[in-house]
């Protein structure tokens, strides 16, 4: 796994067909592909030095294509009532997010939105999973970088680009019914929790979105999809935006009455 040839082997494993003739072969293929994605994720965190810098864009494009292919297969699997390989899609998202830090891909949020989501709108939950992974991989203690200043610059980009993520989450909430589309609801909440926990989002941006009242609406009925994740989001909001910090006043004023109403 730590050798340079593993990059090529894993890429070929991910390119192989995920629908062999027998169910046992299909399971074995899924396991091989997950192992390949797991290996690439680990290598994107610590072994990028094995590759020439000018090859990183092609590696990125290959990972994105694998992500689209396997995420699309998961969507079809759900429609056909057959098992979907969600762990594989998640691990590919983590690999892309780790590589984005390594190559200082500062336009990753816009590029993924335009090149993946706009052309494959059915992959909304998968793209939200990818967006959730982006700050988490930038905050990983396994990340090995040759220049620490690049990491700080990348984190600044995330802070300045948080409006894009909030806008995508808003669009997902407004275009779906949370009662029937639990997958999208959970993807939005997971993405939101990750960004609130890791990225220092301007509290005014959160205050102005429809996401704040939406999260509290999910807490009214514990049978709603995403109830536990909504609780986690509110906990992160209260932890990351304390009332004694300047600039948080407006957001706190929006949270307190909604939180108090939950006990009525």
| SS3 state at 104 | coil
pLDDT of 20: 45
- Tell me which long-range contacts 87-91 makes (C-beta under 8 A, separation of at least 24): 87/34, 88/30, 88/33, 88/34, 88/37, 89/126, 89/129, 90/129, 90/133, 91/34, 91/37, 91/38, 91/41
pLDDT of 25: 64
pLDDT in tens, 205-243: 999 999 999 999 999 877 777 899 999 999 999 999 999
Contact (CB, 8 A) for 18 and 73: yes
The C-alpha atoms of residue 99 and residue 41 are separated, in whole angstroms, by 8
- Helix-strand-coil split of the chain, %, nearest 5: 75, 0, 25
What is the token pair recorded at 102? 């390594």
Residues of the chain falling short of pLDDT 50: 20-22
- Tell me which long-range contacts 184-187 makes (C-beta under 8 A, separation of at least 24): 184/124, 184/125, 184/128, 185/218, 185/225, 185/226, 186/125, 186/225, 186/226, 186/229, 187/124, 187/125, 187/126, 187/128, 187/129, 187/132
In Å, how far are 1, 24, 159, 192, 251 from 235, measured between CA atoms?
39, 43, 20, 12, 14
pLDDT of 84: 81
What is the token pair recorded at 138? 């930038």
pLDDT of 164: 95
String of b and e for 36-59 (b: at least 16 CB within 10 Å)?
bbbbbbbbbbbbbeebeeeebeeb
pTM: 0.92
pLDDT of 182: 87
The C-alpha atoms of residue 60 and residue 95 are separated, in whole angstroms, by 9
pLDDT of 91: 97
What is the token pair recorded at 111? 């590029």
Q: Which residues contact 223 (CB under 8 A, 6 or more apart)?
A: none
Contact (CB, 8 A) for 152 and 105: no
The C-alpha atoms of residue 28 and residue 30 are separated, in whole angstroms, by 5
| SS3 state at 222 | coil
pLDDT of 116: 94
């Amino acid at each position: 796994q730590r050798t340079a040839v593993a990059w090529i082997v894993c890429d070929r494993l991910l390119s192989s067909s995920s629908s062999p003739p027998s169910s046992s072969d299909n399971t074995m293929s899924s396991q091989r592909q997950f192992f390949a994605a797991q290996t690439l994720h680990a290598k994107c965190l610590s072994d990028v030095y094995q590759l020439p810098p000018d090859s990183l864009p092609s590696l990125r494009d290959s990972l994105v294509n694998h992500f689209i292919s396997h995420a699309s297969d998961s969507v079809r699997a759900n429609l056909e009532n057959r098992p979907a390989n969600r762990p594989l899609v998640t691990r590919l998202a983590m690999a892309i997010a780790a590589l984005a830090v390594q190559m200082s891909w500062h336009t990753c949020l816009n590029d993924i939105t335009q090149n993946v989501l706009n052309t494959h709108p059915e992959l909304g939950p998968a793209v939200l999973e990818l967006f959730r992974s982006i700050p988490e991989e930038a905050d990983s203690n396994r990340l090995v970088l040759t220049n620490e200043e690049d990491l700080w610059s990348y984190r600044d980009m995330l802070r300045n680009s948080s409006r894009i993520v909030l806008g995508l989450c808003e669009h997902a909430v407004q275009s779906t019914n949370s009662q029937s589309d639990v997958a999208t609801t959970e993807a939005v909440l997971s993405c939101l929790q990750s960004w609130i926990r890791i990225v220092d989002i301007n509290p005014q941006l959160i205050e102005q979105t429809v996401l704040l009242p939406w999260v509290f609406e999910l807490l009214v009925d514990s049978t709603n999809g995403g109830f536990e994740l909504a609780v986690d989001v509110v906990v992160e909001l209260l932890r990351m935006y304390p009332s004694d910090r300047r600039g948080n006043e407006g957001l706190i004023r929006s949270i307190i009455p909604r939180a108090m109403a939950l006990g009525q």
